[in-house]
Amino acid sequence: MKLMRWQVAAVVAASLVFPLLVRSEYYQHVIILALIWVVIGSSWNLLAGYTGQVSFGHAIFFGIGAYTAGLCSYKLGVSAWWGMIFGGPVASLIGFVIGWICFRLRGPYFALATIAVGEIIRLIAVVWVSFTGGMQGILLMQTFRSKLPYYYLALFIALMCLLAIHVVMRSKWGYYFVAIREDEDAAESMGVNAFRYKSLSLIISSFFTGLAGAFYMNYMAFIDPEVVFSLHHISIMAILVGIIGGVGTLWGPPLGAFIMVLLQETFRSAFFGLAPRWVSELHVLAFGLLVIFVILYLANGIVGDWDKIRRLWSSKGPSAPGVVGKGS
Amino acid sequence: MGVFVQTVVAGILIGGIYALVGIGMTLIMGVMKIINLAHGQLMMVAMYITYVLYEYAHLDPYVALLVTMPALFVLGALIQRFLLNPLIRVEAILPENQVLMTVGIGMVLTEIARLIFHSDYKSVRPAYTSMSLYLGSIAFNLPMCIAFGIAVLLTIGLFVFLLKTDMGKSVRATAQNKEAALLLGINAERITVFTYGLGAALVAAAGTLLLPIYYLFPDLGGAFTLKAFVITILGGLGSTVGAIVGGVVLGISESLGATYVSMALKDAVGMVIFLLVLIFLPGGLKRLTKI
């Protein structure tokens, strides 16, 4: 599925006017959350979907970004908004160090190493009370009463992130990334310095994830280690968002992010009050079942297997070349 | 000195159960070449079955082994047959599809448990859980000793099975070289289904044995999945003997960490060892054994 220029413009225009049309703070909040997930999912996808390094540790960068912003106010007494400037670079730096440690491992071993590093960092954040405030977390005053400034900032970050990934993937770097994903040894033998480009991919990926974390700190005004360094709620969710939308596609993770957040909110509010109360406990379960379904039937995600879905839709069977199916 | 010996003893006893967790994982890794990220969650399911049997049928946890092991064997076999095997034939960008599927399975199992039992802590405490045997001044907690004993028996049973029976030999053959096994007429797909079931049954035994000395809540699965990795990596992937050593090493190091470092950093000890082994000792202790 390739989006046309006018379709991209339509998506951007719709997201620009959305909060002006929908005045409900609740819906604006849901979309802001979705936009944060767009950034996390897309960043994870750059490293895993395009470069083939499946990270189970993206909570590290999200948490580092959030804590950078939080500690600006907690330790330095300056505004947490400075985190928007420092969160990305600090997360990138940590990313570089982690890459230096973990990139000597391949495939599943790399994935396991990132889990281990993530858990170690989470435990450090819990135990080092004098520096991070430990399990008490960090609490701020929100800057704006209205959701609008947050909404447009989140939208700006998400669009920047997608644009950056788009530009990178059309450049020479992007081709190196995909070469490493497809066959690392072959790429090495063609003269691609795999370690350097894996690190590059991780640095870009962790930069945006850290930025999302810094924004999250400012928006939610509360963090603690169990929230932002969570293996299950951040690292694994980032993976699932990518899987549902489609790894290795630009529009997959954003779509996955919206599906994930909307599904969660739909269930959390028990279908907006239409269903019995106990339905609200099902939101993670529903998402888990969706993941299983997608992996079984749409191995490359909704965007990656878009043609498959469309064929079902038009129920014409496999479309032969030259035959113009419905909906194209 | 007394404290030190006591700590090591406790570590070894818990290590026996950890070994059982690790062996299940390592079997699955050896045959399917995948990391089973739902391993701890399978154990959690077995623990809930044990809990229900104790609470409503007053069945002793050790008798419940006879229920949980077959039950989890069936569950594991079904998962492999209907959720994991179909993925072998699927063309996907990321080769880790099966691993990601186990993530989804683990999530669903956890949430189902949460739905039925809610998030509060449960425990099973038969009368004998607080008893201890004394050797000099060192206490041996009775349920831990029983658990250790049963874990050892199950492990010996597994070894006899793997070394002596046709089915066991088929499992080993598939783990060593799938193509060759196929050529020699082994039905590899059936072996994978059997192996995942076996792995699930072993971790079910570990869970049931652990319940009298532990507590239970839905998110326990995730923590034990992590422990299972540490054990398997320590022992070297696919090595059953390694998993035993890895289990005991993890048990002792956690126990020492809790006593001498801090309770809060107990889990970090395992993770740090894990990372160091991953980086500096790839292959773990596999070199020492043929099994």
pLDDT digits 0-9 by tens, A232-271: 889 989 998 998 998 888 889 999 999 999 888 888 877 7
A120/B268 CB distance under 8 A: yes
Q: CB distance from A179 to chain B under 8 Å?
A: no
Phi, psi of B259 (to 5 degrees): -80, -45
Q: CB distance from B12 to chain A under 8 Å?
A: no
pLDDT at site A325: 37
Predicted confidence (pLDDT) per residue in A263-295, tens digit: 888 888 777 667 776 777 788 888 889 889 888
**Number of alpha carbons in the 13 Å side-chain half-sphere of residue B126:** 18
B275/A117 CB distance under 8 A: yes
Q: CB distance from B108 to chain A under 8 Å?
A: yes
- Contact at 8 Å (CB) between B283 and B236? yes
In this structure, what token pair is assigned to residue B110? 């956890």
Phi, psi of A39 (to 5 degrees): -65, -50
A227 min Cα distance to partner chain B (Å): 15
Number of domains in chain A: 1
From B93, B116, B127, B98, select the one nearest B44 (Cα to Cα): B116
Q: Which chain B residue shows the shortest CA-CA distance from A249?
A: B93
pLDDT at site B110: 92
B110 min Cα distance to partner chain A (Å): 8
pLDDT at site B57: 86
From B201, B229, B173, select the one nearest B66 (Cα to Cα): B201
CA angle A245, B90, B27 (to 5 degrees): 105
Within a domain: A276: no
Within 8 A of A108 by CB-CB distance, chain B residues are: 34-35, 96, 99
Number of domains in chain B: 1
Within 8 A of B108 by CB-CB distance, chain A residues are: 285, 288-289, 292
Instruction: Say how many Å lie between the first and final Cα of chain B, rounded.
Output: 37
CATH of the domain at B246: 1.10.3470
Other CB atoms within a 10 A radius of the CB of residue A23 amount to 9
pLDDT at site B32: 82
From A21, A44, A64, select the one nearest A244 (Cα to Cα): A44
* Touching A: B residues 248-267, CB under 8 Å: 262, 264-265, 267
Predicted confidence (pLDDT) per residue in A27-59, tens digit: 889 999 999 999 999 999 999 989 989 899 999
Q: Which chain B residue shows the shortest CA-CA distance from A231?
A: B222
Comparing CB atoms, the residue among B87, B90, B278 nearest residue A113 is B278
pLDDT at site A2: 63
Which positions ≥6 away from B234 have C-beta within 8 Å?
A: B242, B245, B246, B249, B250, B273, B274, B277, B284, B285
Predicted confidence (pLDDT) per residue in A157-183, tens digit: 999 999 999 999 999 999 999 999 988
B173 min Cα distance to partner chain A (Å): 22
B94/A281 CB distance under 8 A: no
Average pLDDT, chain A: 86
Distances (CA, A) of A89 to A61, A69, A96, B195: 10, 12, 10, 46
Distance CA A314, CA A326 (A): 6
Residue B138, strand partner residues: B135
Distance of CA A265 to the CA centre of its chain: 18
pLDDT band for A318, please (50, 70, 90 cuts): low
| Residues counted in chain A | 328
Residue A223, strand partner residues: A138
- Contact at 8 Å (CB) between A290 and A263? yes
- Contact at 8 Å (CB) between B47 and B223? no
Angle, to 10 degrees, between the axis of helix B188-210 and the axis of helix B61-79? Answer: 150
Predicted confidence (pLDDT) per residue in A56-97, tens digit: 999 999 999 999 998 888 888 788 888 888 999 999 999 999
Phi, psi of A270 (to 5 degrees): 50, 60
Comparing CB atoms, the residue among B86, B93, B226 nearest residue A304 is B93
Residue A222 host element (H or E): strand A222-223
Q: Which chain A residue shows the shortest CA-CA distance from B83?
A: A296
Q: CB distance from A101 to chain B under 8 Å?
A: yes
Give pTM, 2 decimals. Answer: 0.87
Q: For residue A95, what are the domain limits?
A: 25-228
pLDDT at site B45: 94
pLDDT at site A326: 36
Distance CA B266, CA B286 (A): 26
A and B: number of Cβ contacts within 8 A: 121
**b/e burial code for range B198-208 (CB count within 10 A of at least 16 → b):** bbbbbbbbbbb
Comparing CB atoms, the residue among B35, B104, B112 nearest residue A292 is B104
Distance CA B34, CA B28 (A): 7
Q: For residue B194, what are the domain limits?
A: 1-288
Q: CB distance from A123 to chain B under 8 Å?
A: yes
Distance CA A322, CA B125 (A): 71
Which positions ≥6 away from A314 have C-beta within 8 Å?
A: A325, A326, A327
Which positions ≥6 away from A142 have C-beta within 8 Å?
A: A218, A219, A221
Within 8 A of B104 by CB-CB distance, chain A residues are: 240, 288-289, 291-292, 295
Distance CA B25, CA B236 (A): 11
In this structure, what token pair is assigned to residue B285? 């202790």
B267/A119 CB distance under 8 A: yes
Ramachandran region of residue B215, left (φ > 0), alpha (ψ -120 to 50) or beta? Answer: beta
pLDDT at site A321: 46
Within a domain: A136: yes
Q: CB distance from A49 to chain B under 8 Å?
A: yes
Phi, psi of B53 (to 5 degrees): -60, -40
- Contact at 8 Å (CB) between A275 and A290? no
Within 8 A of B264 by CB-CB distance, chain A residues are: 123, 126-127
Distance CA A23, CA A29 (A): 11
DSSP character at residue A298: -
pLDDT at site A328: 32
Beta strand segments in chain B, E: 132-135, 138-141
A49/B272 CB distance under 8 A: no
Low-confidence ranges of chain B (pLDDT < 70): 93, 95, 238, 281-291
Within a domain: A105: yes
Distance CA A228, CA A242 (A): 19
**Number of alpha carbons in the 13 Å side-chain half-sphere of residue A181:** 24
Predicted confidence (pLDDT) per residue in B54-87, tens digit: 988 888 888 888 999 999 999 999 999 998 888 8
User: Dihedral of CA A151/A152/A153/A156: which sign?
Assistant: positive
Mutate to test the interface with B, among A105, A234, A235, A296 (most CBs of B within 10 A): A296
Distance CA B235, CA A209 (A): 34
Comparing CB atoms, the residue among A101, A112, A295 nearest residue B229 is A112
